[in-house]
Amino acid sequence: MREILLNICLVAIACALFKMLVPENGFKKQIGFLVSCFFITAVISFVTGGSFDFEGVSFDGGGNFTDFSEEVTTERKRAIAEELSGRVREMLAEQEIFPSKIYVIVNISGMYSISINEIKLVLPPSADFTRASALVEEEVGAGIKVTFEVQ
């Protein structure tokens, strides 16, 4: 019992010192509230011996969570590729170049930066490849590799 009272006194002194260090500003009430919550939690912990029983509530962090990040990344890649291929298809159709397929290689890194690596056009043999390449590079930028496949 003596150890519990000693610990409570030490926590009370630490909380009082911390409250004295808080500057006079708009957050004084919020910081005071947090210090009070810390004090109450420490007192309860000392009295109960550090064991809290919340009747069936577990704080072990071993819950079953589903990671949707890969699915979201895949869907986002697909949406970017579809949007860009649609824009390229429209732009080429205005110049009377009609690709049968357009492939867009999109990369989303671990830091969620999006980069477009390559655009591959499937064109008929009669298409003007040089003109198509120039138009696509003009639309998407010169840093993206444009390749062709003959249908």
Tokens of 135: 């138009």
Q: Which CATH class is domain 69-150?
A: alpha beta
Distance in angstroms (rounded) separating the CA atoms of residues 27 and 34: 11
E strands present in the chain: 101-108, 114-123, 145-150
Q: CB of 106 within 8 A of CB of 114?
A: yes
Nearest by Cα to 6 from 36, 46, 40, 45: 46
Q: Give the domain ranges of the chain.
A: 2-48, 69-150
pLDDT digits (tens, 9 = 90+) for 99-134: 999 999 888 776 667 888 889 999 988 888 888 888
Q: What is the pLDDT of residues 20-65, one digit of tens each?
A: 877 777 777 888 888 888 888 888 877 776 655 556 555 555 556 6
User: What pLDDT sits at residue 66?
Assistant: 65
- Report strand pairing: 101-108 vs 114-123: antiparallel
Q: How far apart are CA 46 and CA 5, in angstroms?
A: 9
